[in-house]
Amino acid sequence: MMIVELIDGDDFRDRLVALGLEVAAGASPEACAERAAAAYASGKLAGLPGLVDELVHRRDVVLPAVRDAIATQLLPALGR
């Protein structure tokens, strides 16, 4: 039997924090994505496109709230 690790809001937040984004613990995926988009627009968070690409390609294991936050906040911020 294979066990798949799903990417939830906490995982999403942790990945953004690993890129250098400051986000409050327990922040929603939407709030995290909004903050990440703003940081990217101001020239920070250079690793964001790579993270977004990874998560878009792993769509099957990303929970809906995270997918929605990426689609509504991050893809437009990256011009996609």
Number of domains in the chain: 1
* 65: containing domain: 1-21+46-80
As a whole number of angstroms, the distance between CA 2 and CA 15 comes to 24
Residue 38: inside a domain: no
Q: What is the pLDDT of residue 57?
A: 95
Phi, psi of 42 (to 5 degrees): -90, 10
Q: Is 60 exposed, middle or buried (0-12, 13-18, 19+ CB in 10 A)?
A: exposed
Residue 11: inside a domain: yes
Phi, psi of 55 (to 5 degrees): -70, -35
pLDDT band at 48 (very low <50, low <70, confident <90, very high): very high
Residue 51: inside a domain: yes
**What's the pLDDT tens digit per position in 24-37?**
999 999 999 999 99
Mean pLDDT, the chain, whole residue set: 94
Taking the model in full, what pTM does it have? 0.91
